[in-house]
A and B are shown apart, each in its own frame.
Chain A
Amino acid sequence: AQTVTQSQPEMSVQEAETVTLSCTYDTSENNYYLFWYKQPPSRQMILVIRQEAYKQQNATENRFSVNFQKAAKSFSLKISDSQLGDTAMYFCAFMKPQGAQKLVFGQGTRLTINP
């Protein structure tokens, strides 16, 4: 079975700083998908970024980028120029490409951006 581990329960940075959230996973699969989801205080989960394991290039979405290290089974999220609206819980998630889209989530990291 796949497992996803986020070792940082909480993080806090100043506005405009860069912050990196860690995620490691365990799988015997060669092809899979990885995701970062954000859950703001409104509680609605929002997709931040996704990565396909067969793609070597790291995904980027505006201020959000990932560092995908397949051999190390690591998938960290970097948020540049952090903003107050980035304050949220962040979840890393794994999905096999076959069948229904069953996501396996990590424990989450609570990120606070301070003014």
Chain B
Amino acid sequence: DVKVTQSSRYLVKRTGEKVFLECVQDMDHENMFWYRQDPGLGLRLIYFSYDVKMKEKGDIPEGYSVSREKKERFSLILESASTNQTSMYLCASSLRVGLEKLFFGSGTQLSVL
């Protein structure tokens, strides 16, 4: 069965810490995405990657960076965590083109204190 795995379900960090959120997919998908989900705002795209070492900014990239050294792994990095980055983070993956659906992980609820 298809699987997108996020390394942590819940995470608590301090302001100013560097935070890594990891995502691994086992479907050999080209595309991978990071979204953040906030009540009343839905999901907003932070970054996406369409190939190894390739990345593009989404709608809200400020304060975040990403890394994709291997096809199956896509990492979201908060260089210096701030309280306004407290949120649910969802990773997703998909095949390259067309009407292929996205497969989502179960999310990481990040709290920055």
Contact = CB atoms under 8 A, between A and B. Distances in A.
Interface of A: 4, 6, 9, 33, 35, 42-47, 50, 52, 91, 97, 100-108
Interface residues of B, number: 27
A102 B48 contact: yes
Nearest to A107: B42
Contacts of B44: 105
Contact of A44 (B97, B100, B105): B105
A86 to B, nearest CB: 18
A105 B106 contact: no
A106 B42 contact: yes
A49 to B, nearest CB: 10
Contacts, number: 54
B42 A108 contact: yes
Interface of B: 31, 33, 35, 40-45, 48, 50, 56, 58, 88, 90, 92, 94, 97-102, 104-107
Contacts of A91: 42-43
Contact of A45 (B48, B97, B104): B104
10 contacts: A43-B88, A44-B106, A46-B104, A47-B102, A50-B99, A100-B50, A101-B97, A101-B102, A103-B45, A105-B43
Contacts of B42: 4, 6, 91, 105-108
Contact of B100 (A6, A101, A102, A105): A101
B31 A45 contact: no
A101 B58 contact: no
A43 B43 contact: no
B110 to A, nearest CB: 13
Contact of B107 (A33, A43, A97, A105): A43
Given A44-B106, A47-B101, A101-B31, 13 more contacts: A6-B42, A43-B90, A44-B107, A46-B104, A100-B31, A101-B94, A101-B97, A102-B45, A103-B45, A103-B102, A105-B44, A106-B42, A107-B40
Contacts of A35: 101
